[in-house]
Amino acid sequence: MSEDRVDRRVDTVAETLFREQNRLVTAFEELDGSAFRRTPWQRDAFGRGQVCVLDGGAVLERAAVNVSVVAGTRLPPSITDSAPHLLGQPFRVTGLSMVVHPANPYAPACHANFRFFSSGSDWWFGGGVDLTPCYGFDEDATHFHQTLHDWCARHPAADYAAWKSACDSYFTLPHRDETRGVGGVFFDRVTGSFAELWSCVADGLATILPAYLPILRRRCSLPFTDRERRWQLLRRGRYVEFNLVHDRGTRFGLQTGADIDAVLVSMPPLAAWSYGVVPEPGSPEADLQRFLVPRDWLG
Amino acid sequence: MSEDRVDRRVDTVAETLFREQNRLVTAFEELDGSAFRRTPWQRDAFGRGQVCVLDGGAVLERAAVNVSVVAGTRLPPSITDSAPHLLGQPFRVTGLSMVVHPANPYAPACHANFRFFSSGSDWWFGGGVDLTPCYGFDEDATHFHQTLHDWCARHPAADYAAWKSACDSYFTLPHRDETRGVGGVFFDRVTGSFAELWSCVADGLATILPAYLPILRRRCSLPFTDRERRWQLLRRGRYVEFNLVHDRGTRFGLQTGADIDAVLVSMPPLAAWSYGVVPEPGSPEADLQRFLVPRDWLG
C-alpha cells in the first residue's frame, strides 16, 4: 500500500479517537458530577492532541482521557527493540489512552489504550483494556472479562484467548511476582485487513464503558475507613511501579519528548510505599492475591 | 591480588558498615524520639543484612538505613552494561544505603550510599551523598556541599570537583530537564589503593551526619500549611520517577531478586502526581527551579 494511503488512515483513525474521547469524558462527567479540564495542544511539526483531566471528583479521584496524533523523525528504541528493520524510520501515530483512579478503595482502576502506528508503508494497531482492583470481587472480574470476550467474539480479527493471555503477560510486576490487576486484553503490532481491524478497534472503544461502568457504579458508594484508604494507596504504589519500570507506553512517551505531564497523567493522584506490610491471613487485603495471578475469569 | 584477599576485604568493609548503620540509626532516633524497626535477615547462599526503618516519626516521616553483604552467581546487566568483561561473573558486594524523608516540607530529603564490590580479583568502591529539597535554601546547599568538599579535601583518593559533577549528571531527570535536588557527590567503580580508598570511604560515612543534621535541625520545626505539604508530595513524585526510571541501585536490586521491600525502602512514604501544575512566578515553589540545575555551591 502507498505511504500516502497509510498516512490518510492515521487521520481517519485520529478523527474517530477525538470523537470517542468526547464520548468517554461526557459519560464520566455525568457519573461524577464534575467537569474535566480540556487542554488542546498543537506543536507544529510534532502534532496535536487534547488532554482531558478530572482531579478530585466525588467518584473519580483522577480520570484522564488523552488523544494525540503525532509524527516523529525516528522511531525510538522502545519500539524498534522488537522491530530492528524500523530503526530510525520516521513514523506517525495516533492513540487514545484512558485511566481512571476512583476515590473509593473498593472501586477498581481502569486503563484503556488504542493506537494506530504507521511507518513508511508499515502500519499496525495496538491496544488493550485492563482492570486493577485494590479489593477483589469475583463478579467484577467476570463481568469485565465477559464483556471483553463478547466484543472479541464479534470480530474475526480479534482473539480473546490470545489477547487475554498477552494482557496477563504484559501487566506483570516480575519483581513482585504478581499481575497488576485482573487483566483484560492486550494486543500489539496487529496488522492484516485494515477494514476488519479498524472495525474491531472501533467496537473496542465502544466496549470500554459497558465493561467498566457497571463495576464502578456498584462500588463507588460502598462505605470505607482509613484502613481501606491506606491499602488503596499502597496498591497504587504498585501501579506506579508498573508504569515507571515496565510500561512501554510510558517509556515511549519519556523517550519521544512528548509533554511529560500528559505522559504521566496515567499516574495515580496519590500513592504510598511502606516496608514490610503483610496483610493478615484471611483478611480482604490478603484475599486480593487470589486476583493477581492469571485466571480464566469468564462466567 | 588473590581472590581470597579481596573476599576478606568484603567482610572487613561489611563489619564497619554494620557499625555505621547502628551509629546513624541511633542519631536519628535521638533526633526524632521514635525507634526504628530493626529487621535482620539471612538467606544462606545469598547473604545477610539488616533493614532499619522508621515510619511516621515526628521529624522523619520515613527514614531507612540498610546494610547488606550478598553474593551473586552472575553480575546483572545493570553492572555489566558498562563492564562487558565481567558479564556473567560471580560477585560479592556489601553496601550501606540511607534515605531520609522528613515530615516537614522545608526539610530536604537526604540519600547516602556506600558500597564495595568484588568480582574475581576485580574490586571497586562506589558511593555518594545527595540532598533533595522541596524548597530551596542557599545556605543549606552551601553547608552540605562545603562539608562534602572538606571531606574530599582530606583524602588524596577523592576528587570533589569530579564527584560533584558526576552527582549532577547521575541525579538528573532527563524527561524533566532538572536535577533531582542540589546534588552532592557521587563516584562509582573507583579502584586503586585499597587503604587510601577505604580510609576515604570510612570518613565519608562519618560525614553524612555533619553534612545533613544541621540542615534537618533548622528546618524540621518551621510552620507549614497544606500548600507546602501538597508541594512536597508532588516533589516526592519526582523522587519516585528518578528511583524507578533511572536509579541503577534500584534496578540492580530489582534484577538480583533481593527483598523488594528492602530495595524500595528508599521510596517516599507518600507521593503525588498532578497534571499541569505550574508554580506562580515569584513563589517559593517556583524558586526551587533555581536549585535544580548544576551550580557551584561552595561558600
Nearest to A205 by CA among A127, A278, A138, A269: A127
C-alpha cell read off for B262 = 528492602
Maximum pairwise Cα distance, chain B: 61
Contact B108, B132 (CB under 8 A): yes
pLDDT tens string A205-224: 999 999 999 999 999 999 99
Give the chain A residue nearest B176 (alpha carbons).
A260
User: What stretches of chain B show up as alpha helix (H) in DSSP?
Assistant: 3-32, 77-80, 138-153, 160-170, 194-219, 226-241, 248-256, 260-263, 284-287
- Which residue, among A60, A97, A273, would best test binding to B if mutated, counting the most B CBs under 10 Å from its CB? A273
Which residue is associated with the grid cell 534496578? B251
Instruction: Please indicate whether, in this complex, the C-beta atoms of B273 and A272 are within 8 angstroms of each other.
Output: no
pLDDT at residue number A107: 98
**Residue B188 to residues A212, B113, B114, B172, B185, Cα–Cα distance (Å):** 49, 11, 10, 16, 10
Contact A98, A208 (CB under 8 A): yes
Which residue is associated with the grid cell 457497571? A214
A227: phi then psi, degrees, rounded to nearest 5: -60, -45
**What is the spatial distance between Cα A112 and Cα A133, in angstroms, rounded to a whole number?**
15
Contact A61, A101 (CB under 8 A): yes
C-alpha cell read off for A257 = 519528548
Q: What ipTM does this complex have?
A: 0.92
Nearest to A203 by CA among A161, A159, A165, A154: A154
Q: Give the gap in angstroms from C-alpha B230 to the nearest C-alpha of chain A.
A: 10
The DSSP symbol for B242 reads I
For residue B272, which residues of chain A lie inside 8 Å, CB to CB?
269-271
Contact B55, B26 (CB under 8 A): no
Q: What is the amino acid identity at position A273?
A: W
**What is the spatial distance between Cα B105 and Cα B134, in angstroms, rounded to a whole number?**
6
Contact B113, B96 (CB under 8 A): yes
**What is the spatial distance between Cα A155 and Cα A157, in angstroms, rounded to a whole number?**
5
Nearest to A261 among B64, B264, B275 (CB): B275
- Which residue, among B37, B60, B270, B275, would best test binding to A if mutated, counting the most A CBs under 10 Å from its CB? B275
Give the chain B residue nearest A54 (alpha carbons).
B275
Nearest to B245 among A51, A254, A275 (CB): A254
∠ CA B123-B128-B132, nearest 5°, is 160
- As annotated, the active-site residues of A are 111
For residue A241, which residues of chain B lie inside 8 Å, CB to CB?
244, 264
Give the chain A residue nearest B261 (alpha carbons).
A275
Q: Give the gap in angstroms from C-alpha A108 to the nearest C-alpha of chain B.
A: 19
Instruction: Please indicate whether, in this complex, the C-beta atoms of A240 and B245 are within 8 angstroms of each other.
Output: no
For residue B271, which residues of chain A lie inside 8 Å, CB to CB?
240, 270-272
Q: What is the amino acid identity at position B19?
A: R
pLDDT digits (tens), chain B, 299 positions: 677 777 789 999 999 999 999 999 999 999 999 999 999 999 888 899 999 999 999 999 999 999 999 998 877 776 776 677 777 788 899 999 999 999 999 999 999 999 999 988 889 999 999 999 999 999 999 999 999 999 999 999 999 999 999 999 999 998 889 999 999 999 999 999 999 999 999 999 999 999 999 999 999 999 999 999 999 999 999 999 999 988 888 877 777 666 788 889 999 999 999 998 999 999 999 999 999 999 999 97
Instruction: Please indicate whether, in this complex, the C-beta atoms of B260 and A175 are within 8 angstroms of each other.
Output: yes
